[in-house]
């Protein structure tokens, strides 16, 4: 298959993008990056949340499953543990325990959190603890949806996020800031980010919000800034695109990473993709009733991501347009992610697609 893909590329029978996708499919599935959504609980209910996180939702992964996941990651030559939510730091002892064990086992640990609900002294204390435990990276997002959902009355959103970033860099924890924007709010989000990063923090080495990525420093600590659009999943399906959307390519934009990623959710389901909605399930087993070794073996066997993936997404798109239109973005999907994710997260869609020969054995 690898030789065939290279030959086709050399004769220009297929695009370079498709060639890379085909080559990536020849790589054996062996997870190196282990992501875990520890909870669906959050202090906010943002309009762009793909996991429908909410202050009233107390769902969280069990300590036993989380510990087993970390142990499996280390034993199977994993390199990275990525912790996210919800707001993981609403359960700080679980996060601290996970970071501590992961670092003991030699994993690189990245935490995605906003620390919403904490006072400045509490944030500082948590940052010191994370630093002492050896945390490698803190990821935090800036978006208009986050600002609009921010419920604190004692401190403005801009000051709060600036305080979190200041505290992290003061403790010399490297930070990656993701600026999330949609077609209709680019200028507003840019102003929010400029106010936080430049007016309040004065990040060194970055003069303006980048088109894609830029790296600067604060308190002699690395700060990477990246700009990305919202993937219209979950609540974000109602976000309008300025000029509508016409999907041009049904290829998976994340195909390069699908052979090395695994993501586990509080309900115990697992996927190979990090960009999925709540309840995503390929049917490869649940961590509360099956070992991670068995789950990974099953994930490696699904034909979903093989060379016919674009054909499957094309068929799924056509069926969902006719029969499940509310599960697609209001202006239509802009990538296969906005088809694949709701497909995997809604049992009624999977039941319908199982009747199609193209999806035999996929989930």
Q: Give yes or no for residue 2 having a pLDDT over 70.
A: no
Q: Residue 1: its pLDDT value, please? A: 47
Question: What's this model's pTM, rounded to 2 decimal places?
Answer: 0.90
Mean pLDDT of 89-107: 98
Q: In what order do the strands lie in the sheet with 108-112?
A: 213-218, 221-229, 175-181, 137-143, 108-112, 80-84, 33-37, 261-264, 270-271
Could you tell me if residue 43 is inside a domain?
yes
What digits encode the pLDDT tens for the residues 180-225? Answer: 987 678 889 999 999 999 999 999 999 899 989 999 999 999 999 9
Q: What angle do CA 159, 162, 165 make, to 5 degrees?
A: 155
Burial class (CB in 10 A: 0-12, 13-18, 19+), 293: exposed
In a domain, 182, yes or no: yes
Q: Is residue 322 in a domain?
A: no
Tell me the backbone φ, ψ of residue 177, rounded to 5 degrees.
-105, 120
Task: Please check whether residue 342 lies inside any domain of the structure.
Answer: no
- What pLDDT is recorded for position 244? 54
Judged by average pLDDT, the poorest of 16-25, 235-244, 317-326 is 16-25
Q: 221 φ, ψ to 5°?
A: -125, 140
Q: What percent of the chain has pLDDT over 90?
A: 65
Which of residues 9 and 85 earns the better pLDDT score? Answer: 85
Evaluate if residue 17 carries a pLDDT over 70: no
296, part of any domain: no
Whether 37 is in a domain gets the answer: yes
The Cα 273–Cα 69 span in angstroms is 17
Residue 116's nearest CA partner among 133, 98, 141 is 141
Number of domains composing the chain:
1
> Which whole-number Å values give the CA distances from 331 to 53, 235, 237, in the listed order?
23, 14, 9
Say if residue 123's pLDDT is above 70: yes
- Rounded to whole angstroms, how far apart are CA atoms 169 and 223? 8
Give a yes or no: residue 313 inside a domain: no
User: Quick check: 240 pLDDT over 90?
Assistant: no
pLDDT for 48: 85
pLDDT digit string, tens, across residues 39-70: 999 998 988 898 999 999 999 999 999 999 99
Average pLDDT, the chain: 89
CB-based burial label for 282 (10 Å; 0-12, 13-18, 19+): buried
Tracing tokens 């999977």 back to the chain, one arrives at 350
Residue 72 lies in a domain: yes
**Residue 11 predicted with pLDDT over 60:** no
Kindly tell me if the per-residue pLDDT of 358 is higher than 50.
yes
Using only the alpha carbons of the chain, give its radius of gyration. 21
Instruction: Give the pLDDT confidence score for residue 135 in this predicted structure.
Output: 98
Please report, for the domain that includes residue 224, its CATH number.
3.20.20.70
3-state secondary structure 310-326: HHHHHHHHHHHHHHCHH
Strands (E), the chain: 33-37, 80-84, 108-112, 137-143, 175-181, 213-218, 221-229, 261-264, 270-271
Instruction: Tell me the average pLDDT across 131-145.
Output: 96
Rounded to the nearest 10 degrees, the angle between the axes of helix 63-75 and helix 92-104 is: 20
Taking only the tens place, the pLDDT of each residue in 151-188 is 777 889 999 999 999 999 999 999 999 999 876 788 89
pLDDT in tens, 300-322: 999 998 889 999 999 999 999 99
Per the structure, the complete domain to which residue 62 belongs is given by: 31-230
């Amino acid at each position: 298959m690898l030789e065939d893909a290279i030959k086709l590329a050399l004769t220009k029978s297929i695009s370079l993008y498709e060639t890379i996708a085909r080559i990536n499919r020849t790589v054996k599935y062996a997870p190196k990056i282990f992501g875990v959504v520890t909870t669906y609980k959050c202090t906010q209910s943002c309009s762009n949340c793909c996991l429908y996180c909410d202050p009233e939702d107390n769902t969280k992964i069990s300590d036993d499953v989380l510990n087993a996941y970390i142990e499996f990651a280390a034993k199977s030559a994993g390199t990275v543990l990525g912790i996210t939510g919800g707001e993981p730091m609403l359960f700080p002892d679980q996060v601290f325990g996970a970071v501590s064990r992961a670092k003991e086992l030699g994993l690189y640990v990245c935490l995605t959190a906003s620390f919403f609900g904490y006072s400045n002294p509490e944030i500082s204390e948590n940052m010191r603890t994370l630093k002492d435990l050896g945390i490698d990276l803190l990821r935090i997002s800036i978006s208009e949806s986050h600002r609009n959902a921010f419920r604190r009355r004692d401190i403005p959103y801009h000051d709060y996020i600036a305080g979190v970033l200041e505290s992290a860099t003061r403790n010399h924890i490297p930070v990656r800031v993701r600026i999330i924007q949609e077609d209709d709010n680019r200028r507003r989000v840019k102003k929010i980010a400029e106010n936080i990063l430049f007016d309040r923090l004065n990040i060194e080495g970055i003069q303006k919000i980048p088109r894609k990525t830029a790296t600067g420093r604060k308190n002699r600590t690395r700060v990477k800034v990246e700009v990305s659009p919202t993937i219209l999943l979950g609540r974000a399906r109602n976000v309008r695109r300025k000029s509508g959307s016409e999907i041009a390519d049904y290829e998976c934009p994340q195909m390069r990473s699908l052979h090395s990623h695994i993501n586990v959710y509080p309900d115990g389901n697992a996927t190979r993709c990090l960009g999925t909605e709540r309840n995503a399930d390929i049917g490869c087993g649940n961590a509360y009733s099956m070992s991670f070794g068995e789950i990974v073996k099953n994930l490696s066997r699904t034909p979903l991501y093989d060379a016919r993936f674009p054909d499957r997404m094309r068929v799924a798109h056509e069926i969902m347009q006719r029969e499940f239109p509310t599960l697609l973005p209001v202006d239509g999907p802009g990538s296969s992610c906005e088809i694949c994710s709701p497909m995997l997260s809604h049992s009624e869609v999977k039941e319908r697609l199982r009747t199609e020969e193209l999806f035999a054995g996929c989930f």
